Chain A
């Protein structure tokens, strides 16, 4: 490894290296700028935004949009709903995924191949949108929180990641546990889970992001507006532009003024939704990159 570094160090920068840096810079700007733009518009003076002056730095700092967002009952309620769905959903995901992955990772388990196949098959064949809808309806889950958290309780892909990790735990540990008189369940709780903290952290991230960002199951299964998660509110306000209810309630300006605040409000709503994930993910990066690799290893 050291030799390689020494070799690389000897090379001079050529045109390709400069081009490469330029491309990477372009990628970084292309990723960051749209988000940065949302941020600066949401905190800039409304008039400056309308005149198109806000391009690369905020003009006339003004947090009124955020005040309006945090005063809005609908946003607050859906934010609360999303937090609730994310916590409960992720918890169910984790318990179910671990309960499925651990037994399937034990090589001696009878019927393991059949059960594995049964899980794997669902990755390629599925009943589809309508039969699942009818099933959720038949279980009387429509318009309840369970319709959001139960149909996706196990992501088979994540289950395989976890199973692969479990099956790489040295067999000696299990033997030792058995000799000490631990049952399978105790072994699972006391030995396997503590060893798998990093991979579990990754799965928490994957599942939680999925719940936080998901809107499809609420679109399909929920009709009660008081149960809607944040993404549905964003969809209504930012994409369908139904934000007038918010501005008329708080502002008493003319039509043009309402339009200006509407614009800012949309971006403020976007920022409020995006921030948690954006702040958290760089710290977890180390773990999830490894996990994606683990998942890519075929058994």
Chain B
């Protein structure tokens, strides 16, 4: 009862002080809404209309008829995808390349952060940290340019070294068996330091008192690392892991497009690169979109599963 009166009097007051019929939140915040106009337009035009555009995966797209006007063909594209043996190869490559990154590159940055944390010399630690960020600022194109030139059979740095030790020169980039290795190693080189930032941040927020207590209890450094440091950054690791798993099938194609060639498609061709070649270069829009939709669905399922598992095991989740 009191509440109702209070509400009413507030409404009255608003009416009196503003002297118009506009609700108070519009009166107060119209400038904010005006500011939002452009960003909202951006999200609708560049994000949500393309999302609607994925409908062409179920249609026989023709540019003349547009997304809505094109003829429905139902699941024909998806049946075609599933019956194509090459699709399973793409799926395998996509998952394997990303799985290897998860297996090697992901722990590497955690380990790097932990080692930096244990570093005794402050100055040296600073230098190592700063230097490790450097590759993040170098473009993928340049990184791939260096890779292709270092791995060349004549005059390439790596092959020169192999030859120096009496080995046989290897044409690395044309042999499918080396592709994933090259990819993962260059990935570590590019992202080790940058990915470590977030763990370093988590490490610096650990209260020094925890370590003091541990010292008093007689813990040595390894024990402190296992029982104090690691539990304190476990939730950060879980979050990063969930995010990484969500991108398990979508990352890395920019680099692959630059590095692969016909002879390495066997291990290097992934869903996104195939979408680019088949969907855009040969203008098979509907089919390409269908494969990409497949990829989006897989990554959504993966991130939801990872989030659910993370929630169950360590009570950490994205939302």
The answer to whether residues A28 and B131 also contact, given A37-B157, A125-B300 and a CB cut-off of 8 A, is yes
Interface residue ranges of B200-257 to A (CB < 8 Å):
200-202, 208, 211-212, 215, 221, 236, 246, 254, 257
Q: In the complex the two chains form, what is the Cα distance from A122 to B40 in whole Å? A: 12
Contact of A154 with B42 in the complex, beta carbons under 8 Å: yes
The answer to whether residues A115 and B40 also contact, given A13-B120, A31-B134, A34-B146 and a CB cut-off of 8 A, is yes
Contact of B46 with A151 in the complex, beta carbons under 8 Å: yes
Contact of A50 with B296 in the complex, beta carbons under 8 Å: no
Provide the A24-43 mask, 1 if CB < 8 A to any CB of B, else 0: 10011011101101100000
Q: Is B49 an interface residue (CB 8 A)?
A: yes
Which of B25, B46, B112 is within 8 Å of A150, CB to CB? B46
Segment among A63-71, A105-113, A196-204, A245-253 that sits at the interface with chain B: A105-113
Segment among B6-14, B83-91, B92-100, B273-281 that sits at the interface with chain A: B273-281
The answer to whether residues A234 and B138 also contact, given A263-B155, A267-B149 and a CB cut-off of 8 A, is no
B43, B132, B211, B246 pick with most chain A CB within 10 angstroms:
B43
Q: How far is the CB of B138 from chain A (nearest CB, A)?
A: 6
What's the A-B contact tally at a CB cutoff of 8 Å?
252
Q: In the complex the two chains form, what is the Cα distance from A96 to B43 in whole Å? A: 11
The size bracket of the interface on B is 35 or more
Provide the B23-48 mask, 1 if CB < 8 A to any CB of A, else 0: 00100110111111011101101111
The size bracket of the interface on A is 35 or more
Report chain A residues within 8 Å CB of B145. 234-235, 238-239, 266, 270
Contact of B115 with A24 in the complex, beta carbons under 8 Å: yes
Contact of A292 with B198 in the complex, beta carbons under 8 Å: yes
Q: In the complex the two chains form, what is the Cα distance from A108 to B25 in whole Å? A: 8
Contact of B128 with A122 in the complex, beta carbons under 8 Å: no
Contact of B32 with A154 in the complex, beta carbons under 8 Å: no
Q: Is B130 an interface residue (CB 8 A)?
A: yes
Contact of A125 with B296 in the complex, beta carbons under 8 Å: yes
Q: In the complex the two chains form, what is the Cα distance from A105 to B128 in whole Å? A: 36
Contact of A126 with B134 in the complex, beta carbons under 8 Å: no
Q: Is B310 an interface residue (CB 8 A)?
A: no
Q: In the complex the two chains form, what is the Cα distance from A119 to B43 in whole Å? A: 7
Contact of A215 with B120 in the complex, beta carbons under 8 Å: no
Select from chain A the residue with minimum beta-carbon distance to B149. A266
Contact of A213 with B140 in the complex, beta carbons under 8 Å: yes
Select from chain B the residue with minimum beta-carbon distance to A8. B120
Q: Is A194 an interface residue (CB 8 A)?
A: no
Contact of A99 with B35 in the complex, beta carbons under 8 Å: yes
Contact of B160 with A52 in the complex, beta carbons under 8 Å: yes
Report chain A residues within 8 Å CB of B246. 124
27 examples of A-B residue contacts, CB within 8 angstroms: A16-B118, A23-B115, A27-B131, A31-B135, A31-B193, A34-B146, A35-B138, A103-B29, A104-B36, A108-B25, A109-B25, A118-B43, A124-B300, A126-B50, A126-B51, A129-B276, A130-B288, A131-B52, A132-B46, A132-B53, A154-B42, A188-B35, A215-B254, A220-B280, A238-B145, A263-B149, A278-B137
- Beyond the given A20-B120, A270-B142, A281-B134, please list 20 additional residue pairs across the A-B interface where CB-CB is below 8 A: A24-B124, A27-B128, A27-B132, A27-B192, A28-B128, A110-B29, A127-B52, A129-B292, A130-B279, A134-B50, A183-B31, A215-B140, A215-B254, A216-B254, A238-B141, A270-B145, A274-B139, A278-B134, A281-B133, A293-B197
